[in-house]
Amino acid sequence: QQPVQSPQAVILREGEDAVINCSSSKALYSVHWYRQKHGEAPVFLMILLKGGEQKGHEKISASFNEKKQQSSLYLTASQLSYSGTYFCGTSVYNQGGKLIFGQGTELSVKP
Amino acid sequence: GAVVSQHPSWVICKSGTSVKIECRSLDFQATTMFWYRQFPKQSLMLMATSNEGSKATYEQGVEKDKFLINHASLTLSTLTVTSAHPEDSSFYICSARDYQGIDTQYFGPGTRLTVL
């Protein structure tokens, strides 16, 4: 089942912060965050693993609440280059690394 | 590292013809690759999982005979859209699973298919 992301869209001024949430109805093994710009491939940002391990982008942070089956992506001091659509991809145990993606959050950073 | 290429980047074909899309992992071996379809302003919808040396696993609702997947080597998977129709027009993206680094998927640049 597809995870649910919120908000669906957000507009920021440069330097402002944003939080994007991802919620699943299934017990998760990992959560993967990607950013996609229009007409381009999704770019990997971060992975959060059950047990608390995080790997990925240095300037972006995220959290993973295993009990609530939720993850949040924190974008601080946003830059114009942060604009794009953010997707969370969730995986469960014994699915061969298959990811199911949320519907996306469109982030626009204005000067 | 973790670069995935896709070819072609765009293709226009006539209804009834077949189109082959290639996905290559350039700097790592990928025993598992995935094929997605994306409509404008929508999410990535997983079509199938491609495993090297074995048959692909298709998601529910995806026609196996229409979307043929072959994963012939550790760096190449192909998707063939057979007897394409206008409703098959979409953005097709592949990804490759990198086990050895961060165990995540790296995406190719996508292929825009337009069927006339």
At B84 the pLDDT is: 96
At B7 the pLDDT is: 97
What is the length of chain A?
111
Residue type, A77: A
How many Cβ atoms are within 10 Å of A58's Cβ, its own excluded? 6
pLDDT by residue, tens only, chain B of 116 residues: 689 999 999 999 999 999 999 999 999 899 899 999 999 889 999 999 999 888 999 999 999 999 999 998 999 999 999 999 999 999 999 999 987 777 889 999 999 999 99
Q: Which of B98-114 are b and which e, b meaning 16 or more Cβ less than 10 Å from the residue's Cβ?
A: beeebebbbbbebbebe
Where on the phi/psi map is residue B109: left (φ > 0), alpha (ψ -120 to 50), or beta?
A: alpha
- What distance in Å separates residue A101's CA from the closest CA in chain B? 6
- What distance in Å separates residue B35's CA from the closest CA in chain A? 11
- Rg over alpha carbons for chain A, rounded to the nearest Å, is 13
Instruction: Look up residue B2 and give its two tokens.
Output: 């973790």
Which residues of A fall within a CB distance of 8 Å from B107? 34, 41-44
At A58 the pLDDT is: 65
Output DSSP code: residue A68. Answer: T
A87:B43 CB<8 A:
yes
At A79 the pLDDT is: 93
A103:B106 CB<8 A:
no
B104:A47 CB<8 A:
yes
Residues of chain A with pLDDT under 70: 53, 55-58
- What distance in Å separates residue A111's CA from the closest CA in chain B? 24
Output DSSP code: residue B27. Answer: S
Residues near B55 by beta carbon (within 8 Å), at least 6 away in sequence: none
